[in-house]
Structure 1
């Protein structure tokens, strides 16, 4: 590729020609929404999500900013903002970020299914994370802490 802008254009065009629904923001190719179904044969298979993607000027040398519009329960997605933690995936991922999944897989899977049912139906992809309130959370969710999720620190 001769420049980051050409790479951005090529990647966005490939995405637009795929089976995903892509909705551009403004006239540029740096911001857009993508709608997708959860992967078949996964806990997410019955869900439908919409993500907002922002490609920086230095893309592909700098990673995109990606955030879920509707809520998803996933170890690498901030539950309240919907931000995908790319730095966690790329640099500092550790089991602490998936503590519930590792400690209590059945509870984790139940929570994923609950979020799919509550927040990932086709009609949910139009709502924005800031429109949901803490009242949507169960008492257990609103009182949990990172330490509770990860368990006690090792001595």
Structure 2
């Protein structure tokens, strides 16, 4: 795949992600993204908002993107220091048929709904989950309140809600994608 074709696919995927109502900031010719990701309903992550960084390699979509949480999250399959995500569909089973919308609509919500303590990047979270699931839920909810609370994030960023919504609109145009 040529660099031009790869860039075209990247722009299409970013536009689809924005069209799916995700708040996306782009950098470095759309190869670096920051996406605001909301915790899935009916999980202890519900109500939380995380900034997730995405780095798209030169041979994307044939090589998987690098995904990491910039906002701290307590989860067995997310490294608490780096935010790196351990997810088979990203690391071993990636295919060019997958796209950014699938990552944020399906893969990450499923990761939060169904943590895998048998393959942890965060040993502490894995131990708490396996030994005392009620405590795990409590710790996750406390982390959401402390680190992923939408009100606190706006205050830390110093951005009023109205301005934040205006700035989340992408600079992509239909001409760039088509």
| TM-score, normalising length: structure 1 | 0.69
Residue matched to 1:152:
none
The residue number in structure 2 matching 1:78 is: 79
How many residues end up aligned between the 2 structures?
126
RMSD over aligned Cα, in angstroms?
A: 2.8
Deviation at 1:36, TM superposition (A): 2.2
CA positional deviation for 1:113: 0.7
Number of the residue aligned with 2:19: 17
DSSP-derived class of the 1:95 partner: coil
User: Residues 24-63 of structure 1 correspond to what in structure 2 (within 5 A)?
Assistant: 24-26=26-28, 28-63=29-64
Asked if 1:121 is matched to 2:166, the reply is no
- 86 and 114 in structure 1: CA distance in 2 versus 1, 3 angstrom threshold: same
| Alpha-carbon distance between aligned partners in 2 of 1:65 and 1:90, rounded to the nearest angstrom | 9
| 8 A contact 1:48–1:125 mirrored in 2 | no
* Greater relative contact order (Cα < 8 A, sep 6+): 2
Describe the shift of the 1:103–1:47 C-alpha distance in structure 2 as closer, same or farther (beyond 3 A).
same
1:95 is matched with which residue? 118
Q: Tell me how far apart the structure 1 counterparts of residues 68 and 117 of structure 2 sit (CA, whole Å).
A: 21
